[in-house]
């Protein structure tokens, strides 16, 4: 009896393996990523994994262009800012939500009120500046601010400020909406198999639907980097993101694949705790900057796909300034500066995220390079979720961290890093009141030319004080099958899938 | 029927076990350093934003209050709201049970399909080249790490031969089965190594037992003696071995699910731990605990059914 059962099972197994049909609709782009999204409520998430899909499903008032250089019209066809910088008048284009209802100024006002006031919102602080919103007619939105703010327009392009359908949200309730949202983007959610994939289909009501070539998009979650790459190689995926730098050369050799490198705003830097003895001395910090061979780090960590960072504002980003007195690699000068500082033998603890290969690689390089100028570095491996608490409480000497911009304007990062606002200037305990005042002034300055001057000065001063040590900029790397055209993301991460085509 | 009395009384013992597990996982996950609110907010975390989220999810309350809420939720058929996914954990778990269950089943079935014939060959041809080959292979099978084995299977069967899908889980039954072959095989190859050794030992003992000798004396063919009398007896300890290993098996699915991108409980658990999503971690841990207890219970019933001498 057992024998019969065995036979039957073997037969079944053989049958099931002989033919596998990849039931895949033409024109549907499948993209592999590391993990599944968590919610479709735009205000309730701060994760890129969600943001990138929110941009497919929702519109924002203004968009960041593909190069990450300027704000371009989104749902707002045009806008006007009053001379005092307090009143913004947006003229909306005629648009419909995916359920066929009209998108009106009331929906935009509702969405912005939610991100400012709703208790689910992770972004309240950035929108508190909105004092009042008026909708004189269905296509006009007037926003009044409590004070002038140069970065305000940029914050409206953030996926958190996506425009949701007021009627749908109220009818469905927040929890149901977060799973089956109603937006006005190029695509709409067809099905969300949690933990597995999000299936989007083309939104026929999208205002620019004629230009959308794809019939749909499937965002599949494949946590293992290796499997994700193999799935593209086997043709199971059309594209995959989060390609490890180490795999790029090998993937480039596959004739069926194209590797795409898009500039990003990611900047990796070395935090220094200015409140600790030794590191409170600017000469010592300068010496460390001279002692670190950033080129070696770029080679080892990014396989030369990244480039040396010379400013906290990423290259190519708004108001980036090259002329800030960045230091080259000069161990002799480092030794001289240390002798001048006369602080005795230095022994520093370096906080490393355990299990983060990149962070560990950088740590070992920095340890060796500093040893060469006579600084002893002790590596302390800590669970990533714990490092933050230690950084905040100042329980460290140095550690690597990275930042990616959420908005086009440099104010958000600048305030966190140099604004003397929260988290002790991004945990560094850096203090310079001149910089503090310039950061505040740059936020209020509405003239772009004058702002450029201010930001250039801020970058120069921060670099001169060695507020932290800029290490490298790195691109987003993705891989596609040949025949997928115009697949990519802007430096803030937005995928322009409404322009992507699949020709097979 | 008195031999089956334990079926009625045993479940009563489950309650304190499950209560204990719920307390231990509840406390343990909260003792790991790290703050779910901070992880949710990422690098933009500000003290006020963190405080808001902690209040919203009741994370600012004392641990025992949080535990009482947890029990209260369980009473209402809920497991509490996930900080990461913002929905009730029971709903998250419900969609994830099937792939994991299917994976474990596929692993066990394939392992038995491999182990029984190999053990049979080995036991019936003791000391021959075939026997030694099987024994060497089963030792080697335990040694392969599943992340490596999984990747090798993908390269061979999906990339080179294009027979089977690389990753994910299907919608239709056929689709699901094709997606389960490689992950099931990854589990089966190491599990069958363990099972083969146990089965072989049982079969060797069985072939030399009085029952077998008596059966042969009655003129039964060696095949009938083996499959009807020796194999069922050898299966009894093997089923217990499987039940004991179920925790190890479930632990193994975590890696396999991640390699093959199966949307199961293991993946949910891993991400829950990384995000310090307390509700998810304790919910999945409790689900695994219930599963382990139930499986051992069922294994006991099967053991009693297979061997009339056993009383529990």
Say if the Cβ atoms of A386 and B268 lie within 8 Å. no
Question: Per CATH, the architecture of A62-169 is what?
Answer: Alpha-Beta Complex (3.90)
Cβ–Cβ of A222/B167 closer than 8 Å?
Answer: yes
Helix axis angle, A2-18 to B173-207, nearest 10°: 150
Mean local confidence (pLDDT), A416-425: 90
Whether residue B42 sits in one domain with residue B129: no
B311 is a domain residue: no
CB neighbours of A145 closer than 8 A, spacing ≥ 6?
Answer: A85, A86, A87, A88, A129, A130, A131, A152
User: Which pLDDT score is estimated for A20?
Assistant: 38
Contact status, residue A108 vs residue A163, Cβ threshold 8 Å: yes
CB contact under 8 A, A230 and B109: no
Confirm or reject contact between A14 and chain B (CB < 8 A). Answer: no
Rounded average pLDDT over A315-326: 91
Most B CBs within 10 Å: which of A234, A389, A425, as the mutation test of the B interface?
Answer: A234
| Lowest-pLDDT range of A21-25, A55-59, A225-229, B166-170 | A21-25
At B191-200, the pLDDT tens digits run 888 888 888 8
pLDDT, mean of residues A226-246: 95
User: What is the pLDDT, as a whole number, of residue A84?
Assistant: 92
pLDDT reported for residue A24: 45
The pLDDT of residue A278 is 92
pLDDT in tens, B49-69: 888 888 888 888 888 888 888
Q: Does A393 touch chain B (CB under 8 A)?
A: no
Interface test with B, best of A22, A223, A265 (most B CBs within 10 A): A223
Please give the residue range of the domain that contains residue B106: 96-306
* Alpha helices (runs of H) in chain B, residue ranges in sequence order: 6-31, 36-41, 47-56, 63-75, 89-124, 129-143, 146-153, 173-207, 210-217, 222-224, 231-244, 246-260, 265-274, 278-306
pLDDT of B207-230, one tens digit each? 888 888 888 888 888 888 888 888
Taking the Cβ of residue A383 and every Cβ of chain B, the question of whether any pair is shorter than 8 Å is answered with yes
CATH of residue B110 = 1.10.3720.10
**pLDDT of amino acid A16:** 42
Q: Residue B103 and residue B249: Cα distance in Å, rounded?
A: 10
Q: B188 and B58 in one domain? A: no
Residue-level pLDDT at B197: 86
From the list A30, A125, A144, the residue with the least C-alpha distance to A84 is A144
For residue A94, report the phi and psi dihedrals to the nearest 5 degrees.
Answer: -65, 125
Is residue A256 within 8 angstroms of chain B, CB to CB? no
CB contact under 8 A, B40 and A46: yes
Is the pLDDT assigned to residue A323 strictly greater than 90?
no
- Percent of chain B at pLDDT above 90? 23
Q: Quick one: B65 and B210 in the same domain?
A: no
The proportion of chain B whose per-residue pLDDT surpasses 70, expressed as a percent, equals 99
Query: How much is the mean pLDDT over chain A?
Result: 92
Closest residue by Cα to residue B187 from B112, B94, B124, B121:
B112
Residue (of B187, B164, B182) closest to B104 by Cα position: B187
With beta carbons less than 8 A apart as the criterion, state whether A373 and A286 touch.
Answer: no
Residue B15, in any domain of the structure: yes
> Of residues A273 and A24, which shows the higher confidence score?
A273
Q: Which of A44, A213, A217 is nearest to A123 (CA)?
A: A44
Q: Chain A residues with CB inside 8 Å of B42's CB?
A: 46-47
Return the percentage of chain A with pLDDT > 90, whole number. 86
Least confident of A236-240, A469-473, B157-161: B157-161
pLDDT (tens digit, 9 = 90+) per residue, A44-74?
998 899 999 999 999 999 999 999 999 999 9
Beta carbons of B245 and A20 less than 8 angstroms apart = no
CATH architecture of A2-57+174-262+475-502: 3-Layer(aba) Sandwich (3.40)
Alpha carbon of B13: minimum distance to chain A alpha carbons (Å): 34
Percent of chain A at pLDDT above 70? 95
Note the pLDDT of residue A15.
Answer: 42
| pLDDT at residue B1, rounded to an integer | 58
Which chain B residue shows the shortest CA-CA distance from A196?
B263
B53 shares a domain with B106: no
| Residue where a domain terminates, one of B12, B41, B75 | B75
The minimum CA-CA distance between B56 and chain A, rounded to whole Å, is: 8
> Given B41, B177, B259, which is nearest A224 (Cβ)?
B259
From chain B, the residues in CB contact with A403 under 8 A are: 43
**Domain presence at residue B85:** no
- Asked if residue B81 is part of any domain, the answer here is no
Contact residues on chain B for A47, CB-CB shorter than 8 A:
42
Q: Would you call A6 and B169 a contact, using CB atoms and an 8 Å cutoff?
A: no
Q: Is the pTM of this model over 0.90?
A: no
Q: Which residue has the higher pLDDT, A236 or B1?
A: A236
Q: Do A223 and B258 touch (CB under 8 A)?
A: yes
H runs (alpha helix) in A19-164: 48-57, 105-117, 124-127, 152-155
Q: Do A422 and B46 touch (CB under 8 A)?
A: yes
Sequence ranges of chain A with CATH classification 3.40.190.10 = 2-57+174-262+475-502
Q: Does A236 touch chain B (CB under 8 A)?
A: yes
Interchain pair A179, B87: CB under 8 A: yes
**With an 8 Å Cβ cutoff, is A39 touching chain B?**
yes
Residue of chain A whose Cα is closest to the Cα of B161: A234
Q: A416-444 b/e with 16+ CB inside 10 Å = b? A: bbbbbbbbbbbbbbbebeebbebbeebbe
Tokens read off for A257? 């694949």
pLDDT of amino acid A297: 96
Q: Tell me where in chain A the CATH 3.10.105.10 domain(s) lie.
A: 265-474
- Do B156 and B278 sit in the same domain of this protein? yes
Beta-carbon separation of A179 and B44 below 8 A: no
Residue B90 belongs to a domain: no
Contacts of A10 in chain B (CB under 8 A): 113
* pLDDT tens profile B8-44: 788 888 888 888 888 888 888 888 877 888 888 877 7
Q: How far is A418 from chain B (nearest CA, A)?
A: 14
User: Nearest by CB to A125, which of B49, B117, B158?
Assistant: B49
CA distance B308 to B206: 16
Q: Which chain A residues have a beta carbon less than 8 Å from that of B109?
A: 9
Predicted pLDDT at A407 = 93
Measured between CA atoms, how close is A342 to chain B, in angstroms?
35
Our CA-based measurement puts residue A122 at a distance from the nearest CA of chain B, in whole angstroms, of 7
Check CB contact of A388 with chain B, cutoff 8 Å.
Answer: yes
DSSP category for residue A315:
T
How high is the pLDDT of residue B43?
76
ipTM for this model: 0.85
Question: What is the bridge-based pairing of β-strands A28-33 and A239-240?
Answer: parallel
CB spacing of A20 vs B164 below 8 angstroms: yes
Last residue of a domain, one of B46, B75, B104: B75
B249 has pLDDT over 70? yes
In chain A, residues under CATH classification 3.90.76.10 are 62-169
Q: Are residues B166 and B68 in the same domain?
A: no
Mind listing the pLDDT tens digit for each residue in A428-478? 999 999 999 999 999 999 999 999 999 999 999 999 999 999 999 999 999
Contact check, Cβ <8 Å, B263/A196: yes
B124 and B272 both lie in a single domain: yes
DSSP symbols for B88-123: BHHHHHHHHHHHHHHHHHHHHHHHHHHHHHHHHHHH
Measured distance between the N- and C-terminal CA atoms of chain A, rounded to whole angstroms: 50
Predicted confidence at residue A26, as pLDDT, reads 61
Distance from CA of A77 to the nearest CA of B (A): 31
**A406 and chain B in contact, CB less than 8 A:** yes
Q: How many CB atoms lie within 10 A of CB A269?
A: 21
Summarised one tens digit per residue, pLDDT across range B253-279 is 889 999 999 999 999 999 998 888 999
B contacts of A231 (beta carbons < 8 Å): 166-167
The token pair at A307 is 């480039």
Chain B residues touching A233 at Cβ < 8 A: 159
- Looking at the structure, tell me whether residues B16 and B139 fall in a common domain: no
Angstroms from A27 CA to nearest CA on chain B: 20
Span A276-289, pLDDT tens digits:
999 999 999 999 99
Decide if B84 is inside a domain: no
> Looking at the 3D structure of chain B, how many domains does it have?
2
Q: A36, A385, A402: which to substitute to probe chain B, counting the most B Cβ within 10 Å? A: A385
What pLDDT is attached to residue A12?
46
- Asked if B114 and B57 sit in the same domain, the reply is no
Q: What is the CATH topology of the domain spanning A265-474?
A: Dipeptide-binding Protein; domain 3 (3.10.105)
Q: Which burial class, exposed, middle or buried, applies to A78 when counting CB atoms under 10 A from its CB (0-12, 13-18, 19+)?
A: exposed
Which pLDDT score, from 0 to 100, does residue A205 have? 96
Q: Is A223 on the interface with B (CB under 8 A)?
A: yes
Q: How many Å apart are CA B301 and CA B312, to the nearest integer? A: 9
pLDDT at B310 over 80: no
Q: Is the pLDDT of residue A386 over 50?
A: yes
Residue of A nearest to B168 (CA): A196
Q: What is the per-residue pLDDT across A1-48, written as a single tens digit (0 to 9) for each?
A: 334 444 444 444 444 443 333 434 469 999 999 999 999 999 999 889
Closest Cα in chain B to A227: B259
């Amino acid at each position: 009896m057992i024998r019969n059962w065995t036979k039957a099972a073997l037969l079944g197994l053989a049958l099931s393996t002989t033919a596998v049909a990849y039931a895949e609709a033409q024109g549907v782009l499948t993209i592999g990523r590391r993990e599944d999204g968590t919610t479709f409520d735009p205000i309730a998430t701060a994760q890129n994994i969600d943001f990138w899909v929110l941009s497919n499903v929702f519109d924002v008032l203004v968009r960041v262009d593909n190069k990450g250089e300027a704000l371009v019209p989104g749902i707002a066809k045009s806008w006007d800012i009053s001379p005092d910088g307090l009143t913004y008048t947006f003229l909306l284009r005629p648009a419909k939500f995916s359920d066929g209802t009209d998108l009106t100024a009331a929906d935009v006002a509702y969405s912005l009120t939610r991100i400012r006031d709703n208790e689910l919102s992770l972004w309240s602080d950035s929108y508190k500046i909105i004092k009042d919103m008026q909708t004189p007619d269905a296509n006009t939105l007037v926003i009044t601010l409590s004070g002038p703010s140069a970065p305000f327009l940029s914050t409206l392009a953030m996926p958190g400020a996506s425009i949701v359908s007021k009627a749908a949200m109220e009818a469905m309730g927040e929890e149901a909406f977060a799973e089956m949202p109603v937006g006005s983007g190029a695509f709409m959610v067809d099905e969300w198999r949690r933990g597995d994939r999000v299936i989007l289909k083309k939104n026929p009501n999208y205002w620019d639907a004629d230009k959308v070539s794809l019939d749909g998009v499937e965002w599949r979650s494949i946590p293992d980097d290796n499997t994700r790459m193999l799935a593209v190689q086997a043709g199971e995926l059309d594209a995959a993101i989060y390609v490890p730098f180490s795999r790029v050369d090998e993937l480039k050799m596959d004739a069926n694949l194209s590797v795409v490198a898009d500039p990003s705003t990611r900047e990796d830097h070395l935090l220094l705790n200015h409140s600790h003895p030794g590191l409170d001395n600017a000469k010592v910090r300068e010496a460390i900057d001279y002692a670190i061979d950033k080129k070696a780090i770029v080679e080892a960590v990014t396989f030369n796909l990244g480039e040396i960072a010379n400013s906290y504002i990423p290259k190519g980003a708004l108001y980036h300034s090259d002329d800030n007195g960045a230091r080259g690699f000069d161990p002799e000068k480092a030794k001289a500066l240390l002798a001048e500082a006369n602080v005795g033998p230095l022994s520093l603890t370096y906080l490393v995220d355990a299990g983060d290969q990149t962070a560990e690689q950088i740590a070992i390089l920095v340890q060796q390079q500093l040893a060469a100028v006579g600084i002893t570095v002790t590596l302390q491996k800590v669970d990533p979720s714990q490092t933050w608490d230690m950084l905040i409480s100042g329980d460290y000497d140095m550690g690597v961290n990275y930042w990616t911009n959420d908005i086009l304007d440099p104010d958000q990062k600048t305030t966190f890093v140099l604004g003397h606002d929260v988290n002790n200037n991004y945990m560094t305990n850096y203090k310079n009141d001149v910089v503090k005042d310039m950061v505040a002034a740059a936020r209020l300055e509405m003239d772009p030319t004058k702002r450029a001057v201010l930001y250039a000065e801020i970058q120069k001063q921060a670099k001169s004080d060695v507020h932290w040590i800029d290490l490298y900029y790195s691109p987003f790397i993705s891989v596609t099958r040949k025949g997928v055209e115009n697949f990519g993301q802007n430096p803030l991460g937005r995928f322009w899938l409404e322009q992507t085509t699949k020709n097979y | 029927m008195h031999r089956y009395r334990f079926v009625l009384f045993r479940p009563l013992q489950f309650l304190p076990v499950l209560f204990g597990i719920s307390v231990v996982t509840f406390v343990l996950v909260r003792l790991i350093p790290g703050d779910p609110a901070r992880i949710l907010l990422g690098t933009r975390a500000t003290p006020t934003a963190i405080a808001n989220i902690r209040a919203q999810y009741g994370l600012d309350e004392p641990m025992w209050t949080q535990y009482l809420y947890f029990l209260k939720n369980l009473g209402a058929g809920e497991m509490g709201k996930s900080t990461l996914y913002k929905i009730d954990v029971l709903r998250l778990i419900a969609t994830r049970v099937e792939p994991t269950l299917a994976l474990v089943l596929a692993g066990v079935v394939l392992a038995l399909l491999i182990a029984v014939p190999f053990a049979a060959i080995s036991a019936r041809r003791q000391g021959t080249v075939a026997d030694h080959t099987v024994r060497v292979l089963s030792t080697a099978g335990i040694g392969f790490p599943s992340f490596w084995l999984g990747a090798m299977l993908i390269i061979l069967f999906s990339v080179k031969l294009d027979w089977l899908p690389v990753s994910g889980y299907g919608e239709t039954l056929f689709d699901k089965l094709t997606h389960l072959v490689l992950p099931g095989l990854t589990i089966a190859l190491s599990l069958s190594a363990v099972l083969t050794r146990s089965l072989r030992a049982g079969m060797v003992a069985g072939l030399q037992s009085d029952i077998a000798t008596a059966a042969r004396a009655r003129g039964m063919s060696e095949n009938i003696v083996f499959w009807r009398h020796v194999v069922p007896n050898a299966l009894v300890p093997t089923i217990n071995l499987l039940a004991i290993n179920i925790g190890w098996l479930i632990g193994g699915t975590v890696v396999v699910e991640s390699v093959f991108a199966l949307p199961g409980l293991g993946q949910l658990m891993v991400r829950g731990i990384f995000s310090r999503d307390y509700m998810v971690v304790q919910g999945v841990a409790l689900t695994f605990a219930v599963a382990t207890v139930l499986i051992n219970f069922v294994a006991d019933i099967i053991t009693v059914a297979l061997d009339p001498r056993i009383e529990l």
